[in-house]
Amino acid sequence: MILRPRRDDHAIVGKYLGKIIVGIGLLMVVPLVTSLVFAEWDTALDFVIGMGACFVFGFGLQVICRTEKDLKWSHGLVVASGSWIAATVLGAIPHWLSGHEGSYLDAMFDIMSGYTTTGLYLIQDLDHISYGLNMWRHVLTYVGGQGIVVIALTFLVKGTAGAYKLYVGEGKDERLLPNVIGTARAIWLVSLTWLAIGTMALAATGLMLGQEPVRALLHSLWVFMGAWSTGGFAPQSYNTMWFHSATYEIICTVIFIAGSFNFALHWAVWQGDRRELRRNIEILSFTATAFITVSVATFGLAHLGIYPDAVNLFRKAFYQVLSGHTTTGFSTIYSRAFVTQWGPVAMLATTVAMAIGASACSTGGGIKGIRIGVLTKAYIQDVRRMISPDSAVVQERYHHIRDIVLEDRIVLTAFTITLAYVTAYAVLTVLGVLFGYDFTAAAFEGVSAASNTGLSCGITAPDMPNLLKWAYIVAMWMGRLEFMSVLALFGHFYAILRGKS
């Protein structure tokens, strides 16, 4: 029997939603200060309006929804998924006011793409936007990578038992430390340390490549944020092709591979356990699938003879496919070049890499390496059982921070989520084909959206059908939260309408 939520349930959800939206408002201080520093007055006003709207909504909810009760599981899931919607609607205000978006839907598309670290964009004339707006694009993708809820847990929510439910609701379930607030702060410690090192490395390279100091610094910060969060936003429309540099590509690759790793893995290495890098199932799974997909793409491109020599061929295939595999979305080729140069084999290899995606509890999206690893182990276990004597006990194990016995419930969970992703990929592909796009292109773009990658083969553009924009927005949202929180939100609305009192 489904029970209709009571007034207290709404109050709890509203209270925490309000806190998270206040956090989004406070976040706008960063682009606001950037605009002030560069005397971009009109852009600064866009952020003042956006910030004010967040505060009115956030504090307003806290006024209306006053309660001292703590979160239950269902509340945590609803708050986590609902906060991403509210943050998208309100976070789109500065984009819309900038005049660079074709509609409010386009603005929301870009914001959802940023928060979910997807990287597809509809903003027009990116090469002429203000520093403030560019800062906002990258800050929201950086924050989205750690999780909107994680930032709220770190700064705004006091250590309640319910905090863990919010954290899990955002698609993360690793406890780096016994206390979930401590875990959220540990995630920030890891991210900020990488931010400092990565930005310095990119800035120094940018200066050597001939960039002016201010541009080198800002570009390095933004490219770092795009890489670490596996977001794929870049300050110029040329993406990372702008730099025409193997060194810049190598540094970006190191950062986005690191960003695609599980925060628990980072924490284990941080604590001195370097063996984890060799033993972790996600690393092994990523290495295997990356090797296969890069090899197939390289083979496909070699067959077409596009690139003049083996070094250039491998450099292009390696960067694009790994960028897709880590769900980053950086590219050093034009979007349309996937269709006009790469051809179906390399495109399909990239599509498969994007579909598999990054690690669980990371900044990335997709099915995730751990599920591919678990399902592979399950198949191996079944085959071993088939060929073993009836009396033999066959039990597979895998290593993820600790040794874990492969139980049926683990396999079932991995299978359920994998099936949800595959369904989302299929739905978006069919939708793209129905709108008249080529199958390979529709699959490439659909998988890119649902796996939060952001590589585009040219479908994502301001003149694409509005229904497809909506479908991609929903897919980015569901893919980032790994479906369960979103389904809980739908269930919440269903209970309001049809539940028993």
Residues 118-147 that bind other proteins (CB under 8 A): 122, 124-131
**Between 211 and 262, CB nearer to other proteins:** 211
The two structure tokens encoding residue 47? 């952020």
- Is 340 a binding residue for other proteins by CB under 8 A? The answer is yes
- According to DSSP, the residues that pair with 403 across neighbouring strands are 399
- Residues 163-192 touching other proteins, rule: CB under 8 A, are none
Question: Which position among 4, 6, 52, 277 is part of the footprint of other proteins (CB under 8 A)?
Answer: 52
- Is 213 a binding residue for other proteins by CB under 8 A? The answer is no
Percentages helix, strand, coil for the chain, rounded to the nearest 5?
70, 0, 30
**Smallest separation (angstroms) from other proteins to the CB of 471:** 20
Q: How far apart are CA 217 and CA 196, in angstroms?
A: 12
Asked whether 230 and 327 are in contact (CB, 8 A), the reply is: yes
- According to DSSP, the residues that pair with 399 across neighbouring strands are 403
CA distance readout (Å), 195 to 227, 234, 496? 10, 16, 43
Helix or strand (DSSP H, E) at 421 = helix 408-434
**Between 29 and 277, CB nearer to other proteins:** 29
**Between 128 and 402, CB nearer to other proteins:** 128
Q: 252: closest CA among 150, 166, 147, 323?
A: 323
Q: How far apart are CA 84 and CA 364, in angstroms?
A: 16
**Between 237 and 376, CB nearer to other proteins:** 237
**Between 236 and 413, CB nearer to other proteins:** 236
- Is 236 a binding residue for other proteins by CB under 8 A? The answer is yes
- Residues 407-466 touching other proteins, rule: CB under 8 A, are 461-463
Gyration radius (Cα) of the chain, Å: 22
**Smallest separation (angstroms) from other proteins to the CB of 190:** 23
Show the site string, 302-321: x = touches other proteins by CB under 8 A, - = not. ----xxxx--xx-xx-----
Q: How far apart are CA 51 and CA 29, in angstroms?
A: 8
**Smallest separation (angstroms) from other proteins to the CB of 293:** 18
Question: Which position among 2, 3, 6, 41 is part of the footprint of other proteins (CB under 8 A)?
Answer: 41
**Smallest separation (angstroms) from other proteins to the CB of 271:** 30
Helix or strand (DSSP H, E) at 443 = helix 439-450
Q: How far apart are CA 313 and CA 304, in angstroms?
A: 11
Judged by CB under 8 A, the stretch of 74-82, 238-246, 356-364, 429-437 that binds other proteins is: 238-246
**Smallest separation (angstroms) from other proteins to the CB of 51:** 7
- Is 44 a binding residue for other proteins by CB under 8 A? The answer is yes
Judged by CB under 8 A, the stretch of 68-76, 81-89, 242-250, 391-399 that binds other proteins is: 242-250
Q: Residue 27's Cα: distance from chain center in Å?
A: 18
Judged by CB under 8 A, the stretch of 59-67, 165-173, 260-268, 422-430 that binds other proteins is: 59-67
Question: Which position among 67, 160, 179, 237 is part of the footprint of other proteins (CB under 8 A)?
Answer: 237
Asked whether 249 and 242 are in contact (CB, 8 A), the reply is: no
Q: How far apart are CA 109 and CA 124, in angstroms?
A: 13
**Smallest separation (angstroms) from other proteins to the CB of 135:** 12
- Scanning the structure block, which residue is given the tokens 């709108």? 435
- Is 344 a binding residue for other proteins by CB under 8 A? The answer is no
**Between 248 and 263, CB nearer to other proteins:** 248
The two structure tokens encoding residue 452? 């939060």
- Is 37 a binding residue for other proteins by CB under 8 A? The answer is no
- Is 55 a binding residue for other proteins by CB under 8 A? The answer is yes
- Residues 92-111 touching other proteins, rule: CB under 8 A, are 97, 99-100, 102
Question: Which position among 20, 51, 252, 294 is part of the footprint of other proteins (CB under 8 A)?
Answer: 51
Size of the site for other proteins (CB under 8 A): 72
- According to DSSP, the residues that pair with 408 across neighbouring strands are none
Show the site string, 192-211: x = touches other proteins by CB under 8 A, - = not. -----------------xxx
Show the site string, 244-263: x = touches other proteins by CB under 8 A, - = not. x-x-----------------
Identity at 86, one-letter amino acid code: A
Q: 376: closest CA among 288, 263, 445?
A: 288
**Smallest separation (angstroms) from other proteins to the CB of 305:** 10
The two structure tokens encoding residue 459? 């479908």
The two structure tokens encoding residue 88? 């998208």
Show the site string, 65-84: x = touches other proteins by CB under 8 A, - = not. -x------------------
Q: 479: closest CA among 293, 186, 142, 230?
A: 230
CA distance readout (Å), 329 to 399, 445, 461, 480, 485? 29, 11, 16, 15, 25
**Smallest separation (angstroms) from other proteins to the CB of 463:** 7
Map residue 369 onto helix, strand or coil. helix
**Between 231 and 364, CB nearer to other proteins:** 231
Map residue 156 onto helix, strand or coil. coil
Identity at 340, one-letter amino acid code: T
**Between 241 and 427, CB nearer to other proteins:** 241
CA distance readout (Å), 298 to 258, 286, 306, 336? 23, 18, 11, 18
**Smallest separation (angstroms) from other proteins to the CB of 137:** 13
